[in-house]
Amino acid sequence: MISVAQLKAGETVLVLGASGGLGVMAVQIAKAVGARVIAVVGGKEKAEVVKSVGADEVVDYGRDGWEARVKALGNGREGVDVVYDGIGAVESGIRCLRYRGRLVVVGFAARGGKMENLKVNKILLKGVAVFGYVSLPSVVILLSRLLTHDSGLEKMGEEIRNGLKMCGTGS
């Protein structure tokens, strides 16, 4: 968030998937910088977790109108400055952003392997900057999962090849 989205003290950040490992870390980093944090989670127990690590506001994605609630909490109802998305809810993240906001995509934990089809006009009309970021903890988690399976090394090679194909740099 800091190096990619240039998060600054006084800004409002939305953390999607805030109760997960990377989400908790994002809440703590944003608070350390001096940002106001809105955390999106599913359920009371998860809400308590993110409150205990510093979230200023918590919104339950299981309730109707959660995106409008987030937008209302951000910058005089204009939306948040930065979205940290670890679950793959890019379109929802864009809805919650203010004009010229920044969105950092770090994962797709809630997508079940199905990537979101995004309407790019929403990025254009809101002047949104979208950044993809792979964090070191994500790489470590992926590698540890792959290496703990019998076919871990083969699977890792397959995953790397698939990733390169998606980026248009592999054959």
The domain ranges of the chain are: 12-133, 136-171
- Whether pLDDT at 169 is above 80: no
Long-range contacts at 135-142 (CB < 8 A, ≥ 24 apart):
135/22, 135/106, 137/21, 137/22, 137/25, 138/22, 138/106, 138/107, 141/21
Q: Report the pLDDT value the prediction gives residue 155, as an integer from 0 to 100.
A: 56
DSSP for residue 20? S
Q: What's phi and psi for 115, nearest 5 deg?
A: -80, 145
- Token pair recorded at residue 157: 């090679």
**Average pLDDT over all residues of the chain:** 83
Mean pLDDT of 137-149: 61
Task: Assess whether pLDDT exceeds 90 at residue 34.
Answer: yes
Predicted confidence (pLDDT) at residue 145 exceeds the cutoff of 50: yes
Q: What was the pLDDT predicted at 167?
A: 57
Q: Residue 171: pLDDT above 50?
A: no
Burial 140-163 (b: 16+ CB within 10 A, else e): eeeeeebeeeeeeeeebeeeeeee
Residue 3 DSSP SS3: coil
User: Which DSSP string corresponds to 49-113?
Assistant: HHHHTT-SEEEETTSTTHHHHHHHHSTTTT-EEEEEESSS-HHHHHHHEEEEEEEEE---TTSTT
Confidence at residue 150, expressed as pLDDT on a 0 to 100 scale: 53
Fold type of domain 12-133? Rossmann fold (3.40.50)
Whether this prediction's pTM lies above 0.85 is answered by no
Percentage of residues in the chain having pLDDT higher than 70: 74
